């Protein structure tokens, strides 16, 4: 019958079972081994022949080491499977095995038994599986160890945090912790709250919300710099105007402060610890006398409060002791009274007993007296009980007072010990050291043990002549004394310890008000004093050198305020140097030049780039003289700390330039008239010389030179008109394609060697000055012929791209090095010694560039030395380049026909791709979009791809350096990967569009390298 006979697995099933990836045994219900996996054979080191058909516990004894009897062991587990037909799993056990090198290695195993049933539900096989779970167990152990270590570290950290919080609470300094980019107040110690903001709460508020008055102050930028850079900031006499409560008038506060960044485990700044001593009184006094301060007085106030508390506790202890003595006296008196009462009672009882024997009536009276005596005795006992209770309560209060005194004294001693200010208490006329801390001992090269209970000037006798009179005066007068930058010198083991101290001497009063000593607080300011003196020496040398320079020299603060001028300025203006600094440049710059000068100055302050401008300055004689102003920032730690400028008198040069331009204008006009007459004579001579071959050649050459002279005169006239702003443009519609053909054919007539070829033309009606546009084409064609003497071809193209005419003239001549490209559009500019080979004044390209600019276009050049040059110019068809928006979501994506910007959230950067021909307007618009999306997505990296950029956008370079990149830096820019355009002019514009020493930007030639650099360390 089906189901009565055990079905054996097929060969295919067994073959698959052998290849199972793990440690498996296939067991029959009688626990005979039917088959096993290769992994099981490898694990146990046994052969298939030995195992196959064997009873499981014949091969592996039931009590074998590998199967300890946890929960019954393997045998019990198998028995459970046989009885219930359900799978069973044993707990994980440890059984170490031999490694390949023969050494025992720690191993853990998990065993399961899975029943296999036939179609009738009868148990057919049991799969015994042993899995190596060593890695999981070891990881779990490691996690448990880490958790235990973390708990221990957490407990230690909490203890340390509590200790630090107590220290911050007690220390006589203003301490606060602000966290996050918004600088939220997480902690302020009592001194911070009490001394700075008694009228408002700041905890939990961002800095600008809690203290709106700091907006625009240097402290805000300093804190942001500490948070962003991770570098601490230490400063003495920092001015911070603050209001004691919202809406109150600002008051100047001065601090010696430390802003210390606090880091996460990943090394990222998450908060700033602010540690300040307020020295407002010190600074105000020292500004009147020698810049005094008060931070040590604050520490003294806290110490004085602690001493007052100690005196109060002493008084309370003395009062409690007196009360205890009085109570003890009362108790003793009550006990004596009771003893006397008992003695009297016993005497009376004896007498009455004797009398009782004589009289019964007297006995009755005696009983009554005994009863009364007993009542008196009970009352006395009750009074004694009350007295004992009062005594116990008094003792408890006394102990409590003693405990409080001990804790207060310990806090006081901790305060003295831990403060960074040196503190010493000297008592008696002999000035015995009663209290001293480590900070004081270190100052004089001793230990606390060296000083405790010693006479101070027995330890440091060399200091007695200077400091003893001061201490005696304070003790005798009862008035505190403050000394700043006080020099001191101490001897220790034949070595000299010297420096400078800020000192506070405070009289020490007992509870009864009697002065018994002096408390001295010391702060070592040696470094600050020496640094200030060195700075004063350096400044004196600096000013001496500046005064020796025979031109105007000045300096300004990082925010642009004039703070120094040399004597040359004072002599030129007829004012003192202080007066000039007080008035500033506005009093002396010509009103017509002032606006532009200030605009450039503000841009330079924002960008950190060189300040360069020309203006007229009013001298003492009342006349204005032209000056070239130039200033550069002195940069330390990446920030401008001072601006150093010069004003060079260029009045004579300006006059010469004006006279030169005037001469060129007059000379050009004067030469034009005789030149016209000479041309007429040449026309007549040409007719007469037609029959004379040799003469005709001479006349032809002379006529060509005459035409060149005519062009030079025209160029000179045009330059004088451009300089005077009198260049006239006659705008009208004309066919640009026909004008191009006519111009090329006209120039072709003058050159037999070169073939002028129009590779592409654009038949379009253009609105502009046809004569001036032809002048540009003629200039470019003549240059192409002139500078390719060995070439044979000049190629001209004209195309229309996005409503722009793009014209190019390509030669195969000498080429131009890249460093000379930008200067080609300047007046009279010549490359190296090219004038020795090629004639001309260097005016043609200057005039051409001005004509193209007046048509709303741009000019650029691509050139390779030895291969030739291509000159381009762009003319907007509608008179102005147009840049259209295509799509965008206002948050993470923008697309225009000139730029696309997309936020890449996976790597937290903006992917920017500039497209086509750019100008000032497109650069400003596109950069504004980049800044907006960077801020909205809170990212700090930009991939700036210029691969598809064409043409010349250098007119926007200064704006980028002076406005946009500073704005990007303020918005948090950290990395800017700039991929170069193939255009040389675009590359030049890129290089000059950065502020000085601007680290976030790196240049690349391919996008992948730029991207890898950008996302590194994201």
What share of the chain in percent tops pLDDT 90? 21
Lookup: tokens for 865: 């030395």
Mean pLDDT of 978-987: 86
Secondary structure of 228-256 as H, E, C letters: HHCCCEEEEEEEEEECCCCCCCCEEEEEE
Beta-sheet pairing, 941-950 with 909-917: parallel
Q: Which residue has the higher pLDDT, 217 or 720?
A: 217
Q: Could you tell me which of 918, 775, 917, 768 has the C-alpha nearest to residue 855?
A: 768
Rounded Cα distance between 932 and 926, Å, is: 10
The alpha carbon of 59 is separated from its chain's Cα centroid by a whole number of angstroms, namely 71
Tell me if domain 171-278 and domain 419-530 are identical in fold.
yes
Say which residues have a Cβ less than 8 Å from residue 705's Cβ, sequence separation at least 6.
none
pLDDT band at 633 (very low <50, low <70, confident <90, very high): confident
With CA atoms as reference, report the closest residue to 128 among 59, 219, 210, 176. 59
What is the rounded CA–CA span in Å between residue 26 and residue 14? 9
Beta carbons of 35 and 9 less than 8 angstroms apart: yes
Instruction: Tell me what the mean pLDDT of segment 452-475 comes to.
Output: 91
Of the candidates 422, 443, 417, which has an alpha carbon nearest to the alpha carbon of residue 163? 417
Task: Please state the rounded mean pLDDT for residues 801-823.
Answer: 84
CA angle 991, 599, 625 (to 5 degrees): 105
Describe the chain by its helix, strand, coil percentages, rounded to 5: 50, 25, 25
Phi, psi of 414 (to 5 degrees): -60, -40
d(CA 91, CA 94): 10
pLDDT value of residue 417? 65
Q: Which of 893, 990, 1009 is nearest to 949 (CA)?
A: 990
Confidence category of residue 673, pLDDT binned at 50, 70, 90: low
The pLDDT value given to residue 359? 53
Continuous H helices in 359-418: 360-418
Q: 419-530 falls under which CATH superfamily?
A: PAS domain (3.30.450.20)
264-273, 353-362, 510-519, 880-889 — most confident range? 880-889
Q: What is the DSSP letter of 837?
A: T
932 has pLDDT over 60: yes
The Cα 375–Cα 382 span in angstroms is 11
Say which range, 375-384, 889-898, 962-971, has the weakest mean pLDDT: 375-384
Q: Which two tokens stand for residue 559?
A: 């925010």
- Architecture of the structural domain at 885-1015: 3-Layer(aba) Sandwich (3.40)
Q: For residue 59, give every residue at least 6 positions away whose Cβ sits within 8 Å of its Cβ, in sequence order, or none.
A: 33, 46, 50, 51
The answer to whether the CB of 30 falls within 8 A of the CB of 54 is no
What's this model's pTM, rounded to 2 decimal places? Answer: 0.42
| Burial tier of 624 (Cβ tally within 10 Å: 0-12, 13-18, 19+) | middle
In this model, does residue 833 exceed pLDDT 50? no
Distance, in Å, from the CA atom of 625 to the CA atom of 98, rounded to the nearest integer, reads: 98
Q: Report pLDDT for 934.
A: 93
Specify burial of residue 960 (Cβ count, 10 A radius: 0-12, 13-18, 19+).
buried
Q: Is the confidence at residue 360, as pLDDT, over 70?
A: no
Instruction: Tell me the CATH number for domain 303-415.
Output: 1.10.287.1700
- Please choose, from the candidates 557, 519, 586, 524, the residue with its C-alpha nearest in 3D space to the C-alpha of residue 645: 557
Residue with tokens 């703070």: 563
Per CATH, the number for 549-649 is: 3.30.450.20
Please enumerate in sequence order all residues whose Cβ is within 8 A of that of 84, keeping only pairs 6 or more positions apart, or say none. none
pLDDT tens string 545-588 = 777 777 888 999 998 899 889 989 999 999 998 989 888 888 89
For residue range 49-100, what is the model confidence (pLDDT) as tens digits? 888 888 988 877 654 444 444 445 788 888 888 999 898 888 888 877 766 6
SS3 780: helix
Residues 940, 924: Cα–Cα separation, whole Å: 19
Residue 147 pLDDT > 70, yes or no? no
Check: CB of residue 193 under 8 Å from CB of residue 174.
no
CA distance 217 to 475: 43
Tokens 């009360």 belong to 323
User: For 964, which DSSP code?
Assistant: I
Distance CA 297, CA 303 (A): 10
DSSP-assigned letter for residue 75: H
Domain boundaries, the chain: 11-132, 171-278, 303-415, 419-530, 549-649, 655-720, 729-876, 885-1015
Cβ–Cβ < 8 Å for 69, 93: no
For 8-65, write each residue's pLDDT tens digit. 555 545 666 776 677 888 888 988 998 888 878 877 778 888 888 889 888 776 544 4
Cβ 599 vs Cβ 620: under 8 Å:
no
Least reliable range by pLDDT among 91-105, 142-156, 843-857? 142-156
What is the full DSSP assignment across 722-737?
A: HHHT------EEEEHH
| Least confident segment among 87-91, 690-694, 965-969 | 690-694
Mean pLDDT of 445-456: 90
Fold adopted by 729-876: Heat Shock Protein 90 (3.30.565)
CATH of 171-278, one of 1.10.1740.10, 1.20.140.10, 3.40.50.280, 3.30.450.20: 3.30.450.20
Domain 11-132 = CATH 3.30.450.20:
yes
CA atoms within 13 A on the CB side of 238: 23
Q: Is 860 left (phi over 0), alpha (psi -120 to 50) or beta?
A: beta
> In this structure, what token pair is assigned to residue 998?
């601007």
Exposure class string for 241-272: b at 16+ Cβ within 10 A, else e: ebbeeeeeeeeebbbbbebebeeeeeeebebb
Which DSSP symbol is given to 260? E
């Amino acid at each position: 019958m089906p189901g009565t006979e055990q079905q054996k697995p097929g060969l295919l099933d067994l073959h698959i079972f052998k290849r199972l990836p793990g440690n498996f045994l296939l067991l029959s219900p009688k626990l005979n081994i039917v088959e096993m996996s290769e992994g099981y054979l490898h694990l146990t080191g046994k052969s298939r022949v030995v195992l196959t058909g064997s009873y499981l516990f014949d091969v592996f004894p039931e009590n074998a080491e590998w199967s300890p009897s946890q929960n019954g062991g393997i045998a019990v587990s198998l028995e459970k499977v046989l009885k219930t037909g359900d799978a069973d799993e044993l707990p994980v056990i440890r059984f170490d095995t031999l490694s390949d090198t023969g050494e025992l290695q720690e191993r853990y195993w998990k065993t399961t038994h899975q029943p296999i049933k036939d179609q009738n539900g009868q148990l057919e096989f049991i799969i015994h599986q042993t899995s190596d779970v060593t890695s999981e167990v070891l990881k779990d152990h490691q996690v448990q160890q880490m958790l235990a270590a973390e708990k221990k570290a957490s407990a230690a950290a909490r203890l340390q945090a509590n200790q630090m919080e107590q220290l911050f609470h007690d220390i006589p300094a203003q301490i606060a912790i602000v966290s996050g980019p918004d600088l939220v107040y997480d902690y302020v110690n009592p001194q911070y709250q009490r001394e700075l903001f008694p009228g408002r709460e700041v905890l939990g508020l961002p800095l600008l919300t809690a203290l709106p008055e700091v907006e625009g102050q240097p402290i805000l930028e300093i804190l942001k710099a500490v948070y962003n850079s991770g570098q601490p900031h230490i400063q003495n006499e920092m001015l911070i105007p603050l209001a004691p409560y919202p809406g109150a008038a600002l008051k100047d506060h001065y601090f010696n402060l430390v802003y210390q960044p606090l880091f996460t485990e990943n090394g990222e700044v998450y908060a700033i610890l602010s540690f300040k001593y307020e020295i407002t009184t010190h600074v105000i006094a020292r500004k009147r006398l020698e810049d005094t301060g008060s931070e040590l007085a604050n520490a003294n106030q806290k110490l004085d409060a602690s001493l007052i508390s100690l005196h109060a506790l002493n008084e309370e202890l003395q009062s409690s002791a007196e009360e205890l003595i009085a109570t003890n006296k009362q108790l003793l008196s009550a006990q004596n009274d009771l003893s006397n009462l008992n003695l009297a009672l016993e005497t009376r009882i004896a007498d009455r007993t004797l009398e009782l024997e004589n009289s019964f009536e007297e006995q009755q009276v005696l009983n009554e007296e005994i009863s009364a005596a007993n009542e008196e005795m009970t009352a006395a006992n009750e009074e004694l009980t009350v007295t004992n209770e009062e005594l116990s309560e008094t003792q408890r209060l006394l102990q409590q007072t003693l405990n409080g005194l001990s804790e207060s004294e310990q806090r006081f001693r901790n305060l003295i010990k831990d403060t960074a200010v040196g503190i010493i208490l000297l008592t008696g006329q002999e000035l015995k050291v009663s209290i001293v801390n480590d900070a004081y001992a270190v100052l004089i090269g001793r230990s606390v043990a060296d000083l405790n209970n010693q006479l101070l000037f027995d330890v440091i006798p060399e200091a007695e002549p200077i400091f003893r009179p001061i201490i005696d005066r304070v003790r005798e007068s009862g008035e505190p004394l403050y000394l700043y930058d006080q020099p001191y010198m101490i001897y220790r083991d034949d070595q000299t310890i010297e420096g400078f101290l800020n000192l506070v001497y405070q009289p020490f009063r007992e509870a009864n008000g009697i002065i018994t000593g002096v408390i001295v607080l010391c702060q070592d300011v040696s470094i600050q004093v020496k640094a200030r003196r060195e700075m004063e020496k350096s400044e004196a040398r600096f000013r001496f050198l500046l005064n020796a320079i025979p031109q105007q020299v000045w300096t300004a603060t990082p925010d642009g305020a004039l703070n120094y001028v040399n004597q040359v300025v004072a002599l030129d203006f007829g004012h003192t140097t202080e007066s000039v600094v007080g008035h500033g440049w506005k009093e002396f710059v010509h009103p017509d030049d002032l606006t532009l000068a200030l605009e450039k100055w503000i841009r330079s302050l924002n960008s950190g780039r060189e300040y360069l401008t020309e203006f007229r300055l009013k001298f003492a004689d009342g006349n204005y003289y032209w000056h070239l102003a130039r200033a550069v920032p002195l940069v330390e730690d990446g920030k401008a700390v001072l601006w150093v400028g010069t004003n060079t008198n260029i009045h004579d040069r300006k006059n010469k330039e004006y006279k030169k331009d005037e001469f060129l204008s007059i000379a050009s006009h004067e030469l034009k008239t005789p030149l016209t007459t000479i041309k007429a004579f040449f026309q007549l001579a040409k007719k007469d010389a037609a029959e004379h071959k040799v003469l005709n050649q001479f006349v032809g050459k002379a006529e060509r030179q005459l035409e060149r002279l005519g062009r030079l005169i025209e160029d000179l006239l045009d330059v004088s008109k451009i300089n005077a702003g009198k260049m006239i443009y006659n705008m009208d519609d004309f066919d640009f394609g026909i004008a191009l053909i006519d111009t090329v054919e006209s120039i072709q007539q003058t050159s037999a060697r070169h073939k002028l070829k129009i590779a592409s033309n654009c038949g379009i009606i253009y609105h502009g000055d046809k004569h001036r546009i032809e002048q540009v084409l003629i200039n470019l064609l003549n240059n192409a012929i002139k500078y390719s003497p060995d070439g044979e071809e000049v190629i001209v193209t004209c195309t229309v791209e996005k409503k722009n005419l793009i014209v190019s003239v390509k030669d195969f001549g000498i080429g131009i090095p890249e460093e000379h490209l930008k200067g080609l559009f300047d007046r009279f500019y010549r490359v190296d010694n090219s004038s020795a080979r090629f004639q001309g004044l260097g005016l043609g390209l200057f005039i051409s560039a001005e004509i193209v600019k007046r048509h709303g276009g741009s000019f650029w050049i691509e050139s390779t030395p030895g291969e030739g040059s291509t000159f381009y110019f762009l003319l907007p068809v509608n008179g102005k380049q147009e840049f259209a928006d295509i799509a965008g979501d206002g948050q993470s994506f923008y697309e225009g026909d000139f730029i696309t910007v997309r936020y890449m959230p996976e790597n937290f950067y903006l992917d920017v791709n500039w497209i086509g021909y750019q100008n000032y307007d497109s650069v400003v618009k596109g950069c504004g979009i980049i800044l907006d999306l960077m801020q909205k997505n809170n990212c700090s990296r930009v991939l700036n791809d210029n691969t598809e950029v064409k043409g010349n956008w250098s007119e926007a370079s200064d704006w980028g350096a002076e406005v946009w990149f500073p704005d990007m830096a303020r918005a948090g820019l950290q990395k800017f990967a700039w991929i170069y355009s193939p255009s040389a002019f675009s590359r030049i514009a890129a290089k000059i569009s950065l502020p000085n020493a601007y680290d976030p930007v790196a240049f690349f030639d391919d996008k992948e390298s730029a991207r890898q650099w950008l996302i590194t360390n994201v």
